[in-house]
Structure 1
Amino acid sequence: MAKVVFRPSGKTIECEVGDNLLEVARRADVFIEAPCNGSKSCGKCKVKLLTGEVNQEVSSHLTDEDKANGYILACCTTIIGDIEVLTNSSLDMAMRGMKVEGGDKAKDKALFDKAVEIAENHNIKLENNIKKTCITLDEPTLDDNISDVDRLERHISMNFGKQMTYDIEVLKVIPKAFRKNNFEITITYREFDDRLEIIDVEPGNTESELYGLAIDIGTTSVVVCLVNMITNEVVEKGASGNGQLQFGADVINRIVYAIKKNNIEKAKAAVVDDTLNMLINELVKESGVKRNNIVSVVASGNTTMSTLFLGIFPDYLRLEPFIPPFFKSPKLNAKEVGLDINPSAGVYLSPNVASYVGGDITSGVLASGIWANEENVLFIDLGTNGEIVFGNQDFMMSCACSAGPAFEGGGISCGMRASAGAVDSVDIDPDTLVPKLNTIDGEPAIGICGSGIIDLICEMLKKKVIDRRGKIHRDLDNERIRFDENDIGEYVLAFAKDNEHLTEDLFITEVDIDNFIRTKGAIYSGAATLVESLGMDFDCVDKVYIAGGIGNHLNIENSVFIGLLPDIDREKFQYIGNSSLIGSYLTLLSDEAKAKLEEIGEVMTYVELSVYPTYMDEFISCCFLPHTNIDAFPSVKAILEG
């Protein structure tokens, strides 16, 4: 046996000699970034060996300087004895750290209110069949000695004219609840035409306490809103990195991990126990809401996230002909899923469309109102999986492109999701090449998020640090420009020697830039192909809706400049927020919205880009700044050639 100590957390675990360090870290619940899921292809699982010795495979991802400073790659390391290793704790906290913030912030509220307005303008009422009512039962006597359940059933039959159904979790609380307040109780129930389905029974009058959860299960980030279902107010909002990040940055690596060594339950636990329940605990603590009063959940995620959320075998999602295990999920309750709320709470998953267009998109389309729009709308969800919808009230076409995690900081040397300390905008001085960095919440810079990467690449192109291929000019003489022994160029945003909060320099490499160019190319080529499939071009697009967490900080002008978005009238672009979360919110509060959501899932047509004749040619053309066809970007051409 060997002992591994992880610093700075101090977590310690015993393992077998010969175990892989990355796998040991996962067992210890220590986050080490591994976008490739330990396939030894990305070089991001770098940690520092503090004490002890290991067996280390040769890897081109470690420089001579890295080796001299004691750095190793966790996926290439075999444990042979007791060791201590140092992980990047700041990025760990940034990727997985939780943040709970009030749900009444102006920007969030405006986005939620806009979605509600769209729904109500098209006769979708914010009403649902979950209700809460205080009743008083006849107390039992020797002459009236029927069972507790029969007593409640009799009252409902006489006063509601309906049958009653319930589960064992309700039965467990009934005896004490009846007697605590002399048979005055509050029942929470779903009302149907022929029956009341009892969710909970509480002593006394608790009619005002009725809550639900609206959830977005993103590949990189998870967001949960605690909603007062009586007032429709978002009481608290919390966000966290998806606990599955430790198993890979994208859905393919998550699937590969889940099907090996019976890891499906581990993948499920990472998102349910380590992410959602942790967020729920924080929301309950901050709000003072009793978890038993959380009686309904609507969750939206891509098809892989929904599948792993339920612990279902996912492998056929990635294998041609790409068949999901379900489009609509079965009827679920919180206990079955494992959520730490009222065990009888209903859990609803937004319906999927295809293997790579999931409930996050149907939910987003519901929130955006494309289904009711007379104009041609291009909907782009900028996330780990780039999903795109083009349509109006008469048709909706969808596609997915493998964007990868770069928009949320994954797979980038110093990348992180958009949280405190992330660089979200950059301006480079043309003479000194010194960058001016803006960070989220004004915290010291510890990494760079997607919007910051867009700004940085745009600035590097404008200020002639890189060429249109994304390569750093070799003739620049500046301390912020350097090259490793493999002649891979780097640009330094912040030096560790000048910033005590950094353990390493904050930088971007040519490899990072190349990865991001492919990411932005996937989005642009997917959108272009989808529009072209209908015999149209970008001139036919009346509105462009940008969804996803990156949009909070996205600079449209810079996004066009690098070729992420089409060069059309900037007035057509509109950020609509986390549309997956907003759609979940609407569905939580409205049965009619739920019906519309399911209709959207049924009518949306999916285009498989991998078999579309012109897609690959378009993608290759997009792997340039902004595009090999510069004439498609006249405003950029004027600047670059001016």
Structure 2
Amino acid sequence: MVKVRFVPENVEVKADLGENLLEAARRANVFVDAPCNGNGSCGKCKVKLKEGKAETKQTHHIKDQEWAEGFVLACETKILEDITVEIPNSHATNMSGMRIEGISESREKEIFERARKQVIDNGMSFGSYVKKDYLEIELPTLDDNISDWDRIKRHLRIHLGFNKVFCRLPMLRKIPNMLRDNDFKVTITHIPRGDNRTTIVNIEAGDTRNRLYGVALDIGTTSVAACLVDLYEGRLLAKASSGNAQMKYGADVINRIIYATKRGGLEKLTHAIIHETINPLLTKMYEEANVGKDEVIAFVAAGNTTMCHLLLGVYPDHLRREPYIPAFIRAPFIKTSELELEANPETFIYIVPSVASYVGGDITAGVLSSGIWASEENVLFIDLGTNGEIVFGNKDYFMTCACSAGPAFEGGEISSGMRAAPGAIERVSIDPFTREPQMKIISEETPKGICGSGLIDLIAEMMVTGIIDRRGKLNRDLKTPRIRFDEYEIGEYVLVFKEEWNLEEDITVTEIDIDNFIKAKGAVYSGAATLIESLGLDMSIIDRVYIAGGIGNSLAIDKAIQIGLFPDIDRDKYVYIGNSSLMGCYLTLMSEDARRKLETIAGQMTYMELSAYPSYMDEFISACFLPHTDIERFPSSSVKINNQ
């Protein structure tokens, strides 16, 4: 055995001789970004070998100067003796400080109010299915010596009309001391069901009828967002978000599914999402709002189909193998205690139903909150996250598909890419004469990398200023220090020189990055085009486009159209609707009518498997240019390209 010490975390772990360094970091719970799950293709798991020897190799991801300084790829390194490894700050950046959607408080309030109004206008009522009642129970005597539990049931029958009252063992254990410590004056939390039945799920001292809370949770592949809700008033009491700790096992669902098939892999993935991601978010919100976990009595969660399998610890490998069959679409009601979630142990977690292997409950929740189900207009709904899911339809029908966009829109598989966190470059413009960039940085901090909205701006600007051609290749004839080529003849554009901000390394975008991004945007556009074409229609039929997902409010629609990500239609038709999945969970939390509508939506959506559609591959290949091989589809882009 040898020892591996990680700094600046100052964590030490024992390892077998020849063990992979990335796996050792995972065992030590030291986060090392590895979007490709350690197959050597992304170059993100770059660390610095400070002391000791290891068997490793230089790849094109590591420049000569970095190699001389001791930088290695963790996934390409075998441990030969006791070593000390330095983890660069960039790895921690990718896990912390993420915004839920990067929108203002006023804009967020507007989005929530719009969704609430839509539900109410369609005849649905708001109000929690969970109830609280204050009880002043008759004290026991020698003449009235029935059991505590029978005494509670008798009180509820006489005063509240419940003939059948139930509870589970945890409640039964709380009752004796709770009653006597509080002079038999307590508040019960219970869930009424038809036929005068109810189930008690919590008992508290005194009168706490004004305190009833629930959690809405969006489990994304890259990020997880949650909000704590006052179930009486519908107010958001606290919000929290972070990177999904499963990222250390791969940036996309396929890599995580593969990791889940390894020995102990599924258990590690489930532990990462629950104990390393969700529970810290819950604890943070409870502390901020001064709410006890036992007061949280309702819980709604949504995620893509793979995330739901990994949350529940259900073997997911059949999701990626033809004919792509999930273990479940609708999960049973599960108690939070079964998953070791930080909430009242008697709370049931409702997991929003999925549609297919690659269209999950996050899309079902998104359709609910967007209001497509009540719209007379033809609506194109695009969730632009780690996975690209698309819905097209109106109140009469919904068609949906999933495209393998990959994690590029959230910074994955991009050399200087990162999530939308403080320090991320979110907007870019380039001077057409000097080719010098100007940037907007989240929180106006020191730049640490570039997020999805910044990449869209950057590639659009590089195209119209002639820095790249329509294939995404750099113009070798331009004389500017910002364009350079390495020893492998791979070109890159330098967005930020490290000397300008005292950084560890330059922030760049390479031809490989651009190619990955073009494939991602091509997958989204071709998915939408194929979905609409399958109905015998074209893009002109679209009345409204809803954009959801983690790319944030900084997305410039005009730039996205320039590169061929979205159809070239009237910009006024585009609406950004925030985290529609989280919004749908909130509506479900607050309204039983909304939950029933959600179930209906999941059953009505028709899923199209793009790989089985004859013309999809041709459509995808055509979309892998800037903006498209058929430039007539993008008249506004063609004008700018011709005038460059």
TM-score interval for Structure 1 and Structure 2 normalised by the shorter chain = over 0.9
- For 1:405-444, list aligned pairs within 5 A: 405-444=407-446
Identity percentage of aligned residues: 53
1:413 aligns to what SS in structure 2? coil
Q: Which residue in 2 is equivalent to 1:546?
A: 547
Q: Which residue in 2 is equivalent to 1:123?
A: 123
Q: Which residue in 2 is equivalent to 1:368?
A: 370
- For 1:226-625, list aligned pairs within 5 A: 226-500=228-502, 502-625=503-626
Q: Which residue in 2 is equivalent to 1:633?
A: 634
1:289 aligns to what SS in structure 2? coil
User: 2 CA distance for matches of 1:541 and 1:101?
Assistant: 25
- In the TM superposition, what whole-angstrom CA distance separates every residue of 1:407-460 from its partner, at most 9, and x where no partner exists? 111111111111111110001122222211101121211111100000011111
| 2:290 alignment partner AA | G
User: 2 CA distance for matches of 1:155 and 1:89?
Assistant: 60
1:49 aligns to what SS in structure 2? strand
Q: Closer, same or farther in 2 for the Cα pair 1:356/1:102, shift >3 Å?
A: closer
User: 2 CA distance for matches of 1:269 and 1:604?
Assistant: 32
Instruction: Give 1:595 shift.
Output: 0.2
User: Quick check: 1:216–1:580 contact (8 Å CA) kept in 2?
Assistant: yes
- In the TM superposition, what whole-angstrom CA distance separates every residue of 1:161-190 from its partner, at most 9, and x where no partner exists? 321111122222222221222011101111
User: 2 CA distance for matches of 1:460 and 1:303?
Assistant: 36
Instruction: Give 1:136 shift.
Output: 1.0
Instruction: Give 1:66 shift.
Output: 3.0
User: 1 CA distance for matches of 2:102 and 2:136?
Assistant: 36
1:170 aligns to what SS in structure 2? helix
User: 1 CA distance for matches of 2:486 and 2:537?
Assistant: 46
User: Quick check: 1:100–1:282 contact (8 Å CA) kept in 2?
Assistant: no
Instruction: Give 1:4 shift.
Output: 1.4
Q: Closer, same or farther in 2 for the Cα pair 1:316/1:373, shift >3 Å?
A: same
User: 1 CA distance for matches of 2:99 and 2:438?
Assistant: 26
| 2:435 alignment partner AA | L
Q: Which residue in 1 is equivalent to 2:93?
A: 93
Alignment partner of 1:174 is 2:199:
no
1:549 aligns to what SS in structure 2? coil
User: Quick check: 1:416–1:448 contact (8 Å CA) kept in 2?
Assistant: yes
- In the TM superposition, what whole-angstrom CA distance separates every residue of 1:110-159 from its partner, at most 9, and x where no partner exists? 11111001111111111231111111111112222222222112212222
| 1:425 alignment partner AA | R
User: 2 CA distance for matches of 1:450 and 1:121?
Assistant: 35
- In the TM superposition, what whole-angstrom CA distance separates every residue of 1:386-415 from its partner, at most 9, and x where no partner exists? 000000000100000011111111111111
User: 2 CA distance for matches of 1:361 and 1:446?
Assistant: 31
Q: Which residue in 2 is equivalent to 1:5?
A: 5
User: 2 CA distance for matches of 1:265 and 1:151?
Assistant: 44
RMSD: 1.6
User: Quick check: 2:379–2:543 contact (8 Å CA) kept in 1?
Assistant: yes
2:155 aligns to what SS in structure 1? helix
User: 2 CA distance for matches of 1:326 and 1:406?
Assistant: 28
Stretches of structure 2 that go unaligned for 5 or more consecutive residues are none
User: 2 CA distance for matches of 1:106 and 1:119?
Assistant: 20
User: Quick check: 2:239–2:285 contact (8 Å CA) kept in 1?
Assistant: yes
Instruction: Give 1:371 shift.
Output: 0.4
- In the TM superposition, what whole-angstrom CA distance separates every residue of 1:595-635 from its partner, at most 9, and x where no partner exists? 00000000100000011000010000011000011111011
User: 2 CA distance for matches of 1:295 and 1:427?
Assistant: 48
Stretches of structure 1 that go unaligned for 5 or more consecutive residues are none
User: 2 CA distance for matches of 1:347 and 1:484?
Assistant: 52
- In the TM superposition, what whole-angstrom CA distance separates every residue of 1:1-30 from its partner, at most 9, and x where no partner exists? 222122222222222222110001111111
User: 1 CA distance for matches of 2:103 and 2:420?
Assistant: 18
Q: Closer, same or farther in 2 for the Cα pair 1:330/1:109, shift >3 Å?
A: same
User: Quick check: 2:96–2:421 contact (8 Å CA) kept in 1?
Assistant: no
User: Quick check: 1:45–1:73 contact (8 Å CA) kept in 2?
Assistant: yes
User: 1 CA distance for matches of 2:439 and 2:103?
Assistant: 28
| 1:559 alignment partner AA | A
Is 7-16 or 506-515 further displaced after alignment? 7-16
User: Quick check: 2:257–2:317 contact (8 Å CA) kept in 1?
Assistant: yes
User: 2 CA distance for matches of 1:58 and 1:432?
Assistant: 34
User: Quick check: 1:548–1:579 contact (8 Å CA) kept in 2?
Assistant: yes
| 2:111 alignment partner AA | L
User: 1 CA distance for matches of 2:449 and 2:42?
Assistant: 18
User: 2 CA distance for matches of 1:250 and 1:353?
Assistant: 19
1:95 aligns to what SS in structure 2? coil
User: 2 CA distance for matches of 1:434 and 1:58?
Assistant: 31
User: Quick check: 1:91–1:447 contact (8 Å CA) kept in 2?
Assistant: no
User: Quick check: 2:98–2:420 contact (8 Å CA) kept in 1?
Assistant: no
2:282 aligns to what SS in structure 1? helix
| 1:346 alignment partner AA | F
Instruction: Give 1:103 shift.
Output: 11
Alignment partner of 1:147 is 2:147:
yes
1:174 aligns to what SS in structure 2? helix
User: 2 CA distance for matches of 1:495 and 1:207?
Assistant: 58
- In the TM superposition, what whole-angstrom CA distance separates every residue of 1:279-325 from its partner, at most 9, and x where no partner exists? 01111111111111111110010000011111111111111111111
